[in-house]
Each structure stands twice: as structure tokens, then as C-alpha cells.
């Protein structure tokens, strides 16, 4: 969106420095013309801001028009790959874990060296450097098998922002795949508060409802939404934004979630065995 010129330059430089892989880079201007010209970077603009998952879908589509690459790396414009072999190491994980549809690196704040708990897509109690099977992802920096991504229809673009990764991950697991967390491969990203985005409270509530109504078997929907409502009221009641959150909840309940294709009960069991039943 032409709002992070320095960060974008550093992000692209770290991509162009990667070795051991062949990369094609598409920079999507989400509702704008990218204010940049770099050799080897394909520019594409959209007439309006489609939101983060919508913009990612556009980038994947542009790549797919002339490329048969095996993987898609979704990369936020304020991220940096500190090591020139980072992408090659992520790709190598697919060979060691053939059931994985995506590989998630460890995200580290470049100043503090901290990995935030929300960046570790695995159950509590395990350190951020420990690898393993995961059921969710930190969406902004993730490597996905292209065939699996296309088989499930990509990101839910209409979510605009927040929780699109839950929807995608559940569809990938329902395809019979898994996810893998590569805790020894680092990516730098500033530790920012997601609530800095104006529509945060509304969209996290609305999209929770949409995820449930799109992907959960009917008996689990009230359980999932009941647990998340109780947790969110506890989290947000002192923020002064609970009313906004409740408006988002009501918006989600009114509809707009799109296609309903609930996961199989076998997938519910597999997710539960992996440490995260699809109600938490």
C-alpha cells in the first residue's frame, strides 16, 4: 500500500538474496500502484484494497498464469529473511515431512529477539524453537505447497483481515494434509499489536463466526462460539471496545460467511490428536 517504503525495500532485498532456490517475486499493490521498480520483481495492482487474504490470492493467481513453481511463499512487506538459505531450508522440510501442506518458520522480533506466543502455531507448553506438527499458521510468513493451496481454493478473500489462516489450515487438514513448524528457520518481523488496526475488534469477532459456520460440523459450532465469546468478553471487557466486538459478533451471525463445507469428523479427530481440537 506504499506505506512502508523502507521496510519494503529491506523485505525485497532479503528475498533477492536467497540462494539454493529459484524465486519469482510478485509485489501486489493493494488498491494502489506499487511505488517501486526493481529488476526481477513483477508488479501488479488492484483497483481497490482487497484486504490481506484477497491480496495474497491475487499474487498467487498472477504467479499461476505463467509459472509451474511447486511452492508459494506468502511474505508480508515488513518481514526480513536474515539468512540467505532460509527459503531453501523451508523447502527442504517438505522432503522430510511429505504430509505437510505448509511449513511455518519461527518469527522473531529483530530488536528484542523475542518470539511472541501468538507467532508459535502450536499448543502451549512447547518452546518457540521446538519443531513439530501444527494445525494453524502465522499467515504473513508461510510457505505452502501450491497444489494443496489450489486444491482447497486459496485464502478466504472476503475475510479481509484476521483468522483467514484458521480457515485455510482447516481446509488443508481436511484434505488429509498437516502443517509443519520449522523452529530453527528464523524470519524477522517487528512485534506489533494487531489491535493497532482500526477494525480489529469487529473483524476478529465477525471472522470467528464465519470460520465456525464455514468449516465446523453443526454440533461444534455453538461450542466453538460459546468458548470464544466467553474468552473474548474476559479479554476485552476492560479495553472499552467490547461493544465494537459485540457488533462484529452480530455481523457474523447475520451471515456473509460464504460457502459452508464442514470438515469431516475424521479431521476433527486428527486435529484433536495433534493437540488442538477445533473448538479452541
Residue 89 sits at the vertex; the CA angle it makes with 86 and 138, to the nearest 5 degrees, is: 65
The answer to whether residue 177 scores a pLDDT higher than 70 is yes
CA distance linking residue 181 with residue 90, whole number of Å: 10
Which pLDDT band, with edges at 50, 70 and 90, does 27 fall under?
very high
pLDDT in tens, 73-122: 999 999 999 999 999 999 999 999 999 999 999 999 999 999 998 888 87
pLDDT at 22: 93
pLDDT in tens, 214-230: 999 999 999 999 999 99
The C-alpha cell that represents 272 in the structure block: 484433536
pLDDT at 280: 79
pLDDT at 50: 96
The C-alpha cell that represents 66 in the structure block: 505463467
As a whole-number percent, the residues of the chain with pLDDT over 70 amount to 97
Please list the helix, strand and coil fractions of the chain in percent, rounded to the nearest 5, in that order.
45, 15, 40
- Mean pLDDT, range 55-83, rounded to an integer: 91
**How do the domains of the chain map onto residue ranges?**
5-192, 195-262
pLDDT at 121: 83
Query: Rounded to the nearest 10 degrees, how much is the dihedral formed by the CA atoms of 121, 127, 129, 131?
Result: -60
Q: Which residues contact 33 (CB under 8 A, 6 or more apart)?
A: 43, 45
pLDDT in tens, 188-199: 999 887 766 678
CA distance linking residue 9 with residue 223, whole number of Å: 45
pLDDT at 126: 75
The residue among 260, 259, 262, 236 whose CA lies nearest residue 249 is: 236
Q: Which residues contact 46 (CB under 8 A, 6 or more apart)?
A: 28, 29, 30, 31, 54, 55, 58
The answer to whether residue 68 scores a pLDDT higher than 80 is no
Neighbours of 223 (CB within 10 A): 15
The answer to whether residue 123 scores a pLDDT higher than 80 is no
The answer to whether residue 187 scores a pLDDT higher than 70 is yes
pLDDT at 185: 97
- Mean pLDDT, range 244-264, rounded to an integer: 95
- Mean pLDDT, range 163-172, rounded to an integer: 97
The answer to whether residue 48 scores a pLDDT higher than 90 is yes
Which pLDDT band, with edges at 50, 70 and 90, does 124 fall under?
low
pLDDT at 197: 66
SS3 of 71, please?
A: strand
Task: Please report the DSSP string for 167-231 in residue order.
Answer: HHHHHHHHTT-EEEEEEEEEEE-----GGGSTTHHHHHHHHHHHHHHHHS-GGGHHHHHHHHHHH
CA distance linking residue 185 with residue 183, whole number of Å: 6
| CATH T-level fold of 5-192 | Spore Coat Polysaccharide Biosynthesis Protein SpsA; Chain A (3.90.550)
Name the least confident of 60-64, 120-124, 259-263: 120-124
Amino acid at each position: 500500500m506504499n506505506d512502508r517504503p523502507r521496510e519494503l525495500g529491506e523485505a525485497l532485498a532479503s528475498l533477492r538474496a536467497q540462494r539454493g532456490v529459484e524465486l519469482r517475486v510478485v509485489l501486489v499493490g493493494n488498491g494502489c500502484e506499487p511505488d517501486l521498480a526493481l529488476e526481477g520483481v513483477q508488479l501488479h495492482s488492484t483497483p481497490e484494497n482487497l484486504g490481506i487474504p484477497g491480496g495474497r490470492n491475487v499474487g498467487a493467481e498472477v504467479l499461476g498464469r505463467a509459472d509451474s513453481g511447486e511452492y508459494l511463499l506468502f511474505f508480508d512487506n515488513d518481514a526480513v529473511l536474515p539468512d540467505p538459505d532460509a527459503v531453501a531450508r523451508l523447502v527442504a522440510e517438505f522432503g522430510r515431512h511429505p504430509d505437510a501442506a505448509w511449513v511455518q518458520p519461527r518469527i522473531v522480533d529483530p530488536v528484542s529477539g523475542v518470539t511472541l506466543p501468538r507467532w508459535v502455531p502450536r499448543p502451549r507448553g512447547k518452546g518457540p524453537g521446538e519443531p513439530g506438527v501444527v494445525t494453524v499458521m502465522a499467515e504473513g510468513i508461510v510457505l505452502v505447497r501450491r497444489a494443496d493451496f489450489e486444491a482447497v481454493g486459496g485464502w478466504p478473500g472476503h475475510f479481509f483481515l484476521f483468522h483467514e489462516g484458521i480457515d485455510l489450515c482447516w481446509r488443508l487438514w481436511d484434505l488429509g494434509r498437516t502443517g509443519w513448524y520449522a523452529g530453527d528457520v528464523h524470519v524477522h518481523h517487528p512485534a506489533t499489536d494487531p489491535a493497532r488496526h482500526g477494525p480489529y475488534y469487529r473483524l476478529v469477532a465477525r471472522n470467528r463466526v464465519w470460520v465456525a459456520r464455514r468449516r465446523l460440523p453443526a454440533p461444534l459450532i455453538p461450542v466453538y462460539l460459546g468458548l470464544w465469546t466467553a474468552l473474548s468478553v474476559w479479554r476485552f471487557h476492560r479495553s472499552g471496545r467490547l461493544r465494537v466486538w459485540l457488533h462484529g459478533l452480530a455481523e457474523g451471525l447475520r451471515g456473509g460467511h460464504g460457502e459452508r463445507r464442514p470438515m469431516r469428523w475424521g479431521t476433527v479427530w486428527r486435529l484433536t490428536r495433534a493437540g488442538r481440537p477445533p473448538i479452541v
